[in-house]
Structure formats: structure tokens, C-alpha cells
Amino acid sequence: MSVLVLGETDTNSLVTAEEVETLARTHGLTIPTPELQDWAVLLTGLNHCAKEVLTIPDYYPPVDLELYPRTNIHRPSGEEETDCGGWATKVTIKCTKPRSNELSGKTFAIKDAIAVAGVKCGNGIGGKVGDWVPNVDATLVTRILDAGGVILGKSACEAGCLVAVSDTSITGNVHNPYAYGYSTGGSSSGSARLVSTGQVDMAIGADQGGSLRKPSANCGVVGIKPTCKC
């Protein structure tokens, strides 16, 4: 590994051989004494670069609100408007100049853990940890809109996307479409319910440990989890 730095090294970024030795020791590593100074020089350059990068403002790709307008953003209330807990937030988003008609007219719900610019994202937990308003659209949101799909809102999801039942979301219980008071499964609970009840044609979930497969099985719909080649 090589680290190149233009100009003089910032003295505040200097790393000493003693600091390298201490750092290595605390992580169970042993560095030969003759090599400590070499590592100090290397880490000094890396430290300098890291500090420079951290001063650069974060870049967020702007969302073209004329191309992807969003209207009627609101938190639904009452079991009828939420579809017995399926909806977390409602909004209408449709591309004014889609690139294709592959999803023309098809309606979608987006799991409330996925970024949709200007729409509060609760991640099932709300509060300071989960209640944030993204200023970007997730790539899959843009792709749906570019293909002519229509987004009707954010579907409820379970607390932190970590729960396999449907009574932990900050937005309230998500009831099974076939048996009120019973679980839809989680964590993509709202997504499965909204498809099952016909609120939308399709819904986006997320699945690392069954978060899409369990709700789809509980609600009698098909949940597709793409394979990943590493």
C-alpha cells in the first residue's frame, strides 16, 4: 500500500513510532522494532489523507422534482387509511418522462427503511434514531419511476427491520390480511399486506434473514429475493 501526500505533512496528523507500537499491542499485534518508524510514516500519510477527506462536504445527487414530482405526502391515520397498519406514509410519485414503459401504470409501496427524498423514513422505530427525511432517492426508487411505475407510499416495517412478527413498528400493528389480530410476519410486514389486499401491485421489501420471505408466506403472496454472487 502506498500513500501520496502533496505538500508538507500536517503536524496534527503525525503518528509516532510509540503510538504505532501501542496501537499494535492493544490489537494483539507485534511489529518488529526496526519497522515501527516505517509504519509511523505510512500511517501519518494515511491519517493526513483521512482528515482531508473528512473536511469535504458529503455529496448527495440532487433529485429532479420536476421529473419525479411527489405530492400529497402525509402520515395516514385510522385503520382504513393505513390498511390495518400496512401504510407508514402515503405519497404519490410518478415520473413525468419515463425512459420505458416496462412498469407503466404498476403501483408500488416502498419499505419504510428505504430512502425516498422528502418523505420521512421511520425504519420501524422513529425517534432520533429512525425518523429522518432523506434528500436522495434510493437507486431502485429511481429505476421504478424511470420504468413508468407509480409509487403510492412507504410500507410499514418492523422495529429496526429486525423482528419476524408484525407488532413492533412505530406506526402500529400490521394485521394479517386473512385474520385480523394475527401476524403478517416481519420485517417487511406492510409490504406483504399491501400486496395481499390489493393496495398496490408490487412492494419493495428487504431480506437478510427472512424479512421478506416470512411476510410473503404469511400473507399468501410471492416474495422474490434475488441471489447474490460474491
The reply to whether 187 belongs to the active site is yes
- In the chain, the DSSP E strands lie at 70-74, 87-94, 107-111, 150-155, 175-176, 179-183, 202-204
Helix (H, G, I), strand (E, B) or coil at 37: helix
Q: Band the pLDDT of 47: cuts 50, 70, 90.
A: confident
Predicted confidence (pLDDT) at residue 111 exceeds the cutoff of 80: yes
181 and 209 belong to one structural domain: yes
**Residue 104 is a catalytic residue:** no
Q: Is 230 domain-assigned?
A: no
Q: Residue 122 is part of which domain span? A: 70-219
- Percent of the chain having pLDDT more than 90? 77
95 and 127 share one domain: yes
- pTM of the full structure: 0.78
- Tell me whether residue 77 is one of the annotated catalytic residues: no
Query: Are 145 and 201 in the same domain?
Result: yes
Catalytic one among 187, 188, 189, 191? 187
Structural domain total, the chain? 2
